Amino acid sequence: MAKDFTKRSDDYSKWYNELVVKADLAESSDVRGCMVIKPYGFAIWEKMQAELDKMFKATGHSNAYFPLFIPKSYLSKEADHVEGFAKECAVVTHYRLKNDPEGKGVVVDPDAKLEEELVVRPTSETIIWNTYRNWIQSYRDLPLLINQWANVVRWEMRTRLFLRTAEFLWQEGHTAHSTKDEAIAEAEQMLEVYATFAERFMAMPVVKGIKTPSERFAGALETYCIEAMMQDGKALQAGTSHFLGQNFAKAFDVKFATKEGGLEHVWATSWGVSTRLMGALIMTHSDDQGLVLPPKLAPIQVAIVPIFKGEEQLKQITDKVNGLKKELLAKGISVKFDNRDTHKPGWKFAEYEFKGVPVRVAIGPRDLESNQLEIARRDTFEKNTVGFDSAADYIEKLLEEIQENLYSRANEHRVDNTRSADTWEEFKSLIDNEGGFVAAHWDGTDETEQKIKTETKATIRCIPLDQPDEEGTCIYTGKPSSKRVLFAKAY
Amino acid sequence: MAKDFTKRSDDYSKWYNELVVKADLAESSDVRGCMVIKPYGFAIWEKMQAELDKMFKATGHSNAYFPLFIPKSYLSKEADHVEGFAKECAVVTHYRLKNDPEGKGVVVDPDAKLEEELVVRPTSETIIWNTYRNWIQSYRDLPLLINQWANVVRWEMRTRLFLRTAEFLWQEGHTAHSTKDEAIAEAEQMLEVYATFAERFMAMPVVKGIKTPSERFAGALETYCIEAMMQDGKALQAGTSHFLGQNFAKAFDVKFATKEGGLEHVWATSWGVSTRLMGALIMTHSDDQGLVLPPKLAPIQVAIVPIFKGEEQLKQITDKVNGLKKELLAKGISVKFDNRDTHKPGWKFAEYEFKGVPVRVAIGPRDLESNQLEIARRDTFEKNTVGFDSAADYIEKLLEEIQENLYSRANEHRVDNTRSADTWEEFKSLIDNEGGFVAAHWDGTDETEQKIKTETKATIRCIPLDQPDEEGTCIYTGKPSSKRVLFAKAY
C-alpha cells in the first residue's frame, strides 16, 4: 500500500494527492476539474453529512431542493453578487443533441438553442430568493429556515481533489428573518454549529472569526468563518456563514407584512460547508503511513484480521470473533471482519493502516489458546495484548481516546504554529520561514491588506471573535489598530 | 385548505396538480420543467431515501459520486444507448460569462467555448463504465456494487410535478459482475428490493414483471420493472432494474482476468427509482380532502392540537401533553404539538388533514377533566375518545392499522381493476370504458404491440413474473401466445 508513497516532508502537496487516490477516497475524472468520489471516500462524506444534518435539524432547519439551473439574468440582479460569482460558470445553451449528419456520433442541434442561457448553480441565493418572494407574505411566514444538500459548479482553472474542484458537493442554508438581529444571531449560530462539528467530529480545532470586507462573500454584509491549520502550516477555510442584510430581499423584492401592519424587506443569511472538508480532514491528521481518521467519522472503526491456515482454523477464529463483533455492534461500533482468503494478513494490516481504520485487531490460533488478542491503534501505532473478555470495553474506550488524542495533537500543532509579529520584518520572517498563523496588527484598509498579500502571499484569514482588544500599530503602515488579525498562507 | 380544491371525479389530473402545490410538496420554478421540492415534500422524499439506502446497504452496496457532466462523445459509444438517450439533454457549451459590453448584466463569453460540449447526465452508465475500466482488472475486484444518489436532467417538453420533470432526483445503482448469472440475479434482487419498499413503506401494491423489447432501457438486454395502479386506473412505472449484459463493458472496454487466467468482458446491471415515486405515493392514497400518507413515510405521524383559551389553559394542556409526547417519541413515533396561538384549532385540523398527517389528537379543558382525548385517523376520518393513559399504545397500534389499511385499500382497487380480455372487442371496450390493467394474450411482436398502442393508447406495462403459463391466442392477430401480458394506459 504505502510503497512509493511520498513523505510529507519531501513534498506535502504530492503526498496529499497520492494519499487521496491510493486510499481510495477520490480520483480525477475525464471531465476537466470534476472528481469521482469513490465508495470509501463517499462513506466518510456520508458520515459528515449525517452528523451535520442532525445538527441543522436540531436547530430548526428543514431540507428542500431548488433547481440546478439558474437563468442567466438572475445572476446580475444583486450587484455585488454578479461581480463575485457570475463569471466562471458552466453555461447551458442548448437542450438537444442530434445524430451527426456525417454519421460521427452526435452533435448539438442548432435548432435547440435556449432563449435565455441557463447557468449551472455556483451557489443558489438568486434562485432561492426568487422563490422566497412567493413563500413570504407576512411575519407569520418567518423565520424560514431551509437547507439544501446539492452539487454546485464553479469553473476553476486549477483544481485539486476535494480542495478545489469544478463540481463539488455541499450544503447551503438559506434563511429569512423579520429582524436584523435575528438574522445576525442565525449566522452566528451556524458558525457555532460548524465549529462544534469540526472540533467534535473531525477532531479539527478551528479559529472562529469574521472575514475582512475584501474577503466577504459576494453580496454579504458580514462573513463569519472557521479557519483550520493544516499540517504544513497553511490555513484552510472550512466553513462560512453569511449575514446578507436585505441585499437579496431587495434584489428579488421579498417583503413581509409586519405585526404592526408595515411592509418591510426580509433579512437573510446563507451558510455552507462542502466536500472541501474532506481535504481538511485528511491534511489535519494523516501521516506518512497513510490516512488517519477520527473514529467518529471512520466508515470502519475496527478491522479484525484473522491469522489462519486452512478452513478449520478460520472456523474456530470466526466462532470466537462473532461474539466480539456482536458486542461491538451493540455498542454502535462499526466492525469489519476481513476473512478473505485472497489476501495475506500482512497485506490486510497494511491496507487498514493506509486507509486510516482507527483500531485493528489481529487474532490467530495461539490467541485462541490464551484467550486474548492483539489490538493496534492507528494514531500512535501502539499495540496491546488484551484479554478476550474485556476486548469490547477496551476498544470502546480506545476509540474515545483516539478521537481525543487526534484533537489534542492537532490543537498542539496549531498552538505551536500560531505566533505574534509586531514589526514588518518579524512578520515577513515568520511568514517566509515558519509558516502557520501570524497574529498581527493591521490598519483596517483594503489597500494595506492587498499590499501585504502581494509582498508575502499571506492573506488575512480572519479577525478572530474570541480575542481581547489590544491597542497596537499596523505592521505595514504603522497606523493605529485596536486588535490583531490572523494572517497565513492558505489553501 | 381544501376549499377550491378540485374533486378527483371532476378532473383527476387537475386534482393532482392542485394537491401537490397546496399540500406544500412541490411547485414549478421559473426554470422550464424544473421543480422546487418544498420542505414538506422533501421530508417525505428523505424518508424514502433513508429506507431505500438502508436496503441497498443491507444487500452489500456502497454509495459513491460520479460527475454531473458527461463528454458528448461518451453518449455515442453504446449504439442502443445513444438512440434511446442522447437527444433531449441540457448541453453545456461555454464555461464563462462576462459583463455585457453594453452594460446590460452578463453575457456568455464567446472566448470560453468548450472544445467538446458536455451533457448534463440524463443517466450515468457511460461515465461510470468509463470509470470502471480503471477499477476492474481481476475477478478479485468483482462484484462491484455501487449506487449513487444524484440529480439528472432530461429535457422533457411536457412536464408534471414529480411525474415528469426536466431535472429530477434519483438513485442509480451500477454493478459489475464476473458472470451473466450473477448479474441477472443482481437485477432480480434489486427488483425485489423495490417491490418490498413499495409495498412495505409506500403501502403501494405492485406487479413485478419484465418489459417487452420495445420498452427496454436503451442498452439493456432485459428490463425488470414494478408497475403500480393509480386511482384513475392508469399504470405508473415505479422502478426499473436492468440486466445490461456486456454491452457497456464492450463499449468502454472493461475486461477482467478470470480465476482461470482468461480475459473477459464484465457483466453489468443498473437500476433506479426517482422522485417520481412521490407522484405514485400521492396518486395511490390521497383523496378529495387532500394528501393521505402511509405512516411509515409521514414526516409527522401524529399532530396534537390543543384547544385552549388563554395561557393558563395552554399551560395545563402542555403539561399533560408533554408526557404523551415523550411516550410516543420513545416508541419512535414523530409528533408535532401545534401550540401556535396564531391559528385556530379548526384551521389546524384542516391543515393536518390536508397534509395527510395519519393521526390527529385533540385535547381541550374538558378532556383534562375526564383524563381522555380525541384521536382521529386520516385514512377513514374515524374518531375515538381514548383514555389518556392508554393513548400512546393506542396510537402505536393505530399507525400500524392505518399502514395496513392503506395497503389493502390500494390492493383491493388494483384487484378490482385488473381484468382479462380474450377478444379484441372485449379488450378495446375494457381499455376505453373501464381502464385499469387488462391481462391479454399477445403474439410477442413489436409490430402488434405498436398497433395496439396506436389504436387504444394502451401499452404493454409488463410481462408479469408471477403468473402461470397459459396457452392462448393474441387478441390482435390471433397468433399463438404462451402467456398473458398486462396492458394499460400509463403515466
Residue A75 has pLDDT above 90, yes or no: no
- Between positions 253 and 312 of A, the ones with CB within 8 A of B are none
Instruction: DSSP for B368-400, please give it.
Output: HHHTEEEEEETTT--EEEEEGGGHHHHHHHHHH
Per residue in B398-416, pLDDT (tens digit) is 999 999 999 999 999 999 9
The predicted structure's pLDDT at residue A112: 95
The predicted structure's pLDDT at residue B77: 86
Residue B188 has pLDDT above 80, yes or no: yes
Q: Which residues of B touch A108 (CB under 8 A)?
A: 72, 91, 93, 117
For cell 486588535, what's the residue?
A483
Q: Does the beta-carbon distance from A91 to B87 stay under 8 Å? A: no
Q: Show me where the domains of chain A are located.
A: 12-65+123-285, 300-400, 418-488
| Reported confidence tier of residue A103, pLDDT bands at 50, 70, 90 | confident
Residue B152 has pLDDT above 90, yes or no: yes
- Burial (CB count within 10 angstroms: exposed 0-12, middle 13-18, buried 19+), residue A44: buried
Instruction: Give the closest of B70, B88, B127 to A95, CB-based.
Output: B88
Instruction: Give the closest of B42, B117, B146 to A65, CB-based.
Output: B42
Q: Does the beta-carbon distance from B42 to A64 stay under 8 Å? A: yes
Does domain B12-285 sit in CATH 1.10.238.10? no
Taking the C-alpha atoms of residue B439 and residue A236, their distance in angstroms, rounded to an integer, is: 63
Taken in order A363, A369, A371, A375, the sign of the CA dihedral is: negative
- Burial (CB count within 10 angstroms: exposed 0-12, middle 13-18, buried 19+), residue A111: exposed
Residue B424 has pLDDT above 90, yes or no: yes
Contact pairs from chain A to chain B, CB under 8 Å: 183
Per residue in B39-71, pLDDT (tens digit) is 999 999 999 999 999 999 999 999 999 999 999
If phi over 0 gives left and psi between -120 and 50 gives alpha, with beta otherwise, what is residue A443? alpha
Domain A12-65+123-285 in this protein, CATH class? alpha beta
For residue A341, give the chain B residue with the closest CA.
B140
Task: For chain A, give the mean pLDDT.
Answer: 96
ipTM of the complex model = 0.96
The predicted structure's pLDDT at residue A2: 59
Share of chain B above pLDDT 90, in %: 92
The predicted structure's pLDDT at residue A86: 58
Q: Which residues, other chains included, contact B185 with Cβ-Cβ below 8 Å and sequence gap of 6+?
A: none
Distance from CA of A313 to the nearest CA of B (A): 23
CB distance A162 to A283 below 8 Å: no
For residue A92, give the chain B residue with the closest CA.
B92
The predicted structure's pLDDT at residue B100: 85
Q: Does the beta-carbon distance from B68 to A169 stay under 8 Å? A: no
Mean pLDDT in residue range A471-477: 97
Q: Which residues, other chains included, contact B319 with Cβ-Cβ below 8 Å and sequence gap of 6+?
A: none
Q: Confirm or reject contact between B153 and chain A (CB < 8 A).
A: yes
Mean pLDDT in residue range B330-359: 96
- Between positions 82 and 101 of A, the ones with CB within 8 A of B are 82, 86-98
User: Which three cell numbers, joined as nine digits, stand for B333?
Assistant: 413515533
Mean pLDDT in residue range B8-25: 97
Q: Which amino acid is at B390?
A: S
Question: Which of A95, A136, A175 to probe by mutation at the B interface, max B CB count within 10 Å?
Answer: A95
Q: Is the pTM of this model over 0.90?
A: yes
For residue A33, give the chain B residue with the closest CA.
B67
If phi over 0 gives left and psi between -120 and 50 gives alpha, with beta otherwise, what is residue A356? left
Q: Does the beta-carbon distance from B97 to A72 stay under 8 Å? A: yes
Residue A78 has pLDDT above 80, yes or no: no
Q: How far is CA A380 from CA A12, A353, A359, A383, B276, in A?
A: 21, 11, 11, 9, 50
The predicted structure's pLDDT at residue B85: 64
Share of chain A above pLDDT 90, in %: 92
The predicted structure's pLDDT at residue A93: 97
Q: Confirm or reject contact between A36 and chain B (CB < 8 A).
A: yes
Q: Does the beta-carbon distance from B96 to A105 stay under 8 Å? A: no
For residue A70, give the chain B residue with the closest CA.
B31
Q: Confirm or reject contact between A73 and chain B (CB < 8 A).
A: yes
Q: Does the beta-carbon distance from A66 to B42 stay under 8 Å? A: no
The predicted structure's pLDDT at residue B157: 83
Q: Confirm or reject contact between B418 and chain A (CB < 8 A).
A: no
Q: Which residues of A touch B152 (CB under 8 A)?
A: none
CATH number for domain A418-488, candidates 1.10.3660.10, 3.20.20.60, 3.30.110.30, 3.40.50.460: 3.30.110.30
Closest CA to B347 of A176, A140, A177: A140
Output the CATH code of domain B300-400: 3.40.50.800
Mean pLDDT in residue range B418-428: 97
Q: Which residues of A touch B46 (CB under 8 A)?
A: 63
The predicted structure's pLDDT at residue B286: 98
The predicted structure's pLDDT at residue B1: 53
Per residue in B450-474, pLDDT (tens digit) is 999 999 999 999 999 998 889 999 9
Distance from CA of A64 to the nearest CA of B (A): 5
Distance from CA of B335 to the nearest CA of A (A): 15
Share of chain B above pLDDT 70, in %: 99
For residue A113, give the chain B residue with the closest CA.
B91
Task: For chain B, give the mean pLDDT.
Answer: 96
Per residue in A124-177, pLDDT (tens digit) is 999 999 999 999 999 999 999 999 999 999 998 889 999 999 999 999 999 999
Residue A342 has pLDDT above 70, yes or no: yes
Instruction: Give the closest of A36, A63, A167 to B131, CB-based.
Output: A36
Q: Does the beta-carbon distance from B35 to A67 stay under 8 Å? A: yes
Instruction: Give the closest of B62, B72, B119 to A39, CB-based.
Output: B62
Residue A439 has pLDDT above 60, yes or no: yes
The predicted structure's pLDDT at residue A448: 97
Per residue in A294-321, pLDDT (tens digit) is 999 999 999 999 999 999 999 999 999 9
Residue A472 bridge partners (DSSP): A481
| Reported confidence tier of residue A1, pLDDT bands at 50, 70, 90 | low
Residue A31 has pLDDT above 90, yes or no: yes
Residue B202 has pLDDT above 80, yes or no: yes
